[in-house]
A and B are shown apart, each in its own frame.
Chain A
Amino acid sequence: MTAAITESANPASATAPGRFGPYGGRYVPETLMAALAELEAAYAEASTDPVFQSELDDLLRNFAGRPTALTFAARLTEQLGGAKIYLKREDLLHTGAHKINNALGQGLLARRMGKRRIIAETGAGQHGVATATVCALLGMDCIVYMGEDDIRRQELNVLRMRLLGAEVRPVTSGSRTLKDAVNEALRDWVTNVRDTYYILGSALGPHPYPTMVRDFHRVIGIELRQQILEREGRLPDAIVACVGGGSNAIGAFHAFLDDPAVRLIGVEAGGRGKSLGDHAARFEGGVPGVLQGTYSYVLQDENGQVALTHSVSAGLDYATVGPEHAALHDSGRATYVSADDAHVLDAVVRLSRAEGILPALESAHAVAECLRIAPRMPRHAILVVNLSGRGDKDMGILARELKIAGAEALDQA
């Protein structure tokens, strides 16, 4: 690595390493730079090492449960009367969401780098559970930072992490959600940088994380492409995925970036309203800025202070978005919409009752967009929803929000 700066290091340059158009880069305290360089080199080496790849493939297949199914949603398709709807079933993976793809990849990389102490942040708890699982599998120490508010709303996942032997450290600063958990994980990493590996959970943060995390999730789109070609003999017309940091979406989209006929639709959290603080729709209310190491769209006030966010789903409740999505947004290759809490809750019930599949609140954002657009698409069109996770973890929230105990809301749904 050369540390000399060049004109190509200008943020306006798309050719610098870790840049997606003007987005991405590395905006971190100097203390982390050596660790990021070490990580970048180790990942570059591992990603071309057949031994590493075959070990990862073996774990994905025989531990995590890949390839995941592509399910034709027959009853939902019939009810909506438009496009044929397929579900890419990342919810069927071990630990309940796509997050295990990345946790396995980075866990193996950490072991290869000789780091025995693993830290991670988590929002909904799915990345935390996946990381705790991989640490148990590989025999490594695991500390997960989680906002106090998220600990309360995702209690089941907290218990799972503890059962798996991880230490869950509550984060009480700021909004006590995902953003603050990332801050605390970064502070831990700055302090223990020499012996600690930070398994970042989304396609976010400083280079090389956005590229590396995307690569570990590319398998979603690669499988999907092959499966839909086998089933339908052609590519889908649209792929819909929810976008928090955006790891499941970029994993599903990536194999289709060069197929302009395939519409790529990311769904952000519309929360409870359009005002700053009531949602996490970065592409509607955000402007480009730097948060937690990367240049991307950030929800912020006119003074550059990062805004609070709200979503019924802890996993999408985050003020910035992966830099590759920012570039796809600006280029128009992908489009980004939002779904509000009410439509998301409705989508959970609709999918559960039409297909017998309970989606995570995060993934239900993609389902909500599917419910909106599928009826407007012709019957020969093909729409794929990336069902990134299952909703078992959300039963507490669903019970409260849908008043299942009283059953009124459900009966009216």
Chain B
Amino acid sequence: MPIHFPNHPGLVVYLTAGDNGLHTDPQAHPAQPGNPAPRGNAAQPGDLSLTRDIALAAIDAGADVLELGVPFSDPMADGPVIQRASERALRRGTRLADVLRLAADLHRARPQAGIVLFSYLNPILRFGMARFADEAAAAGADGVLLTDMIVEEAADYLAHMRRTGLSPIFLAAPTSPDARLQAIAAHSAGFIYAISRTGVTGKQKQLASDAAALVERIRRWTRLPVAVGFGISSADHFAQVGQFADAAVIGSAIVELIERSGPGQAAANVSRFIKGLRQPALAQTL
């Protein structure tokens, strides 16, 4: 099913695949003599069952699209929260092939939800762009977002997206001039990801005034849905974004919630957080 947002505003949830939070991180809890490393750590590389549980909970709580983040050693566009999550996921041995398997699992379990594979370019290049596109499409993914891929460099990438029917999702920034927005709109499918402010990923207190102006400029060039991301962390932000955009992307706030969750609590916490976005009264109980 193509990416769609049946509710308004739509909700895109980002998860760093393979991050189980602090309580199973081997570095946070180094094994000591007589005090073995916690369960669910690097002893089981490729076990993404917790990410799967959280993703299902997120969909059931109201997420329309899931972005599955492929952990990378050098996440230059990410703030500290997603950097830490990537480091934990890599310490657990998470590979691109595992993320593709997770995508297939989720697609089977919840075919109505959109699935976007979210990665830096290098793990994809190493895997092989053609093989990646084939396997992502076979897994039932709907779209791909490559953080460090710009439209000018994308000819080969776009050819593989077209060939396999995957939606290439590009970032649009407040600093992008209209000529770039036009090119981004022309080459995107699924939705356009509008970055709310200059900066790396991470929570913020106030939604930048840049965001509404950017969405308005993007709409001159496309009828695709526009999702706003970077820094959205509360029901207030979510409602504000709904006034001018089709959807909001929530990443760091949820990744941080997973980081702080106790054993077995992450999926329930994420579910409650997401329900609270549309019903702020629920959020009070968090």
- Which A residues are within 8 Å of any B CB, using their own CB? 1-7, 9-12, 25-35, 173-174, 179-180, 182-183, 186-187, 190-194, 287-293, 298, 300, 302-306
| Contact residues in B for A3 (Cβ distance below 8 Å) | 151-152, 177, 179-180, 182-184
18 A-B pairs with CB atoms under 8 Å apart are: A3-B152, A3-B184, A9-B155, A12-B156, A25-B153, A27-B121, A27-B148, A30-B176, A30-B195, A31-B175, A33-B180, A34-B175, A187-B79, A190-B200, A191-B198, A191-B200, A300-B122, A306-B73
Interface: B262 (CB within 8 A): no
B171 touches A29 (CB 8 A): yes
By CB atoms of chain A within 10 A, which of B73, B95, B148, B154 has the most? B73
| Contact residues in A for B198 (Cβ distance below 8 Å) | 31, 190-194
A304 touches B154 (CB 8 A): no
B122 touches A191 (CB 8 A): no
| Contact residues in B for A300 (Cβ distance below 8 Å) | 122, 126
Using known A-B contacts A10-B155, A305-B72, determine if residue A290 contacts B148 with beta carbons closer than 8 Å: yes
Using known A-B contacts A9-B154, A27-B153, A173-B83, determine if residue A193 contacts B175 with beta carbons closer than 8 Å: yes
Closest chain B residue, CB of each to CB of A180: B74
| Contact residues in A for B76 (Cβ distance below 8 Å) | 29, 182-183, 186-187, 190, 292
Out of B122, B148, B186, B199, name the residue touching A298 (CB < 8 Å): B122
| Contact residues in A for B37 (Cβ distance below 8 Å) | none
Interface: B136 (CB within 8 A): no
| Contact residues in B for A303 (Cβ distance below 8 Å) | 95-96, 123, 126-127
| Contact residues in A for B148 (Cβ distance below 8 Å) | 27-29, 290, 293
Q: CA of A290 to CA of B157 in the docked complex: distance in angstroms? A: 14
A7 touches B155 (CB 8 A): yes
Using known A-B contacts A3-B182, A5-B183, A28-B148, determine if residue A190 contacts B199 with beta carbons closer than 8 Å: yes
Count residues on chain B whose CB falls below 8 Å from chain A CBs.
51
Closest chain A residue, CB of each to CB of B175: A34
By CB atoms of chain B within 10 A, which of A25, A194, A305 has the most? A305
Q: CA of A28 to CA of B176 in the docked complex: distance in angstroms? A: 13
Out of A4, A30, A180, A298, name the residue touching B172 (CB < 8 Å): A30
> Which of chain B's residues 167-220 have a Cβ closer than 8 Å to chain A?
170-177, 179-180, 182-184, 186-187, 195, 198-200
By CB atoms of chain B within 10 A, which of A2, A10, A29, A180 has the most? A29
B175 touches A304 (CB 8 A): no
Q: CA of A291 to CA of B176 in the docked complex: distance in angstroms? A: 22
| Contact residues in B for A191 (Cβ distance below 8 Å) | 198-200
Q: CA of A25 to CA of B157 in the docked complex: distance in angstroms? A: 15
| Contact residues in A for B150 (Cβ distance below 8 Å) | 26-28, 30, 33
Q: How far is the CB of A388 from chain B (nearest CB, A)?
A: 26
Q: CA of A256 to CA of B84 in the docked complex: distance in angstroms? A: 46
B177 touches A34 (CB 8 A): yes
Bits for B123-140, please: 1 = Cβ < 8 Å to A, else 0. Answer: 111110000000000000
| Contact residues in A for B156 (Cβ distance below 8 Å) | 10-12
B74 touches A306 (CB 8 A): yes
Out of A29, A33, A187, A290, name the residue touching B122 (CB < 8 Å): A290
Q: CA of A198 to CA of B189 in the docked complex: distance in angstroms? A: 33
Q: How far is the CB of A277 from chain B (nearest CB, A)?
A: 12
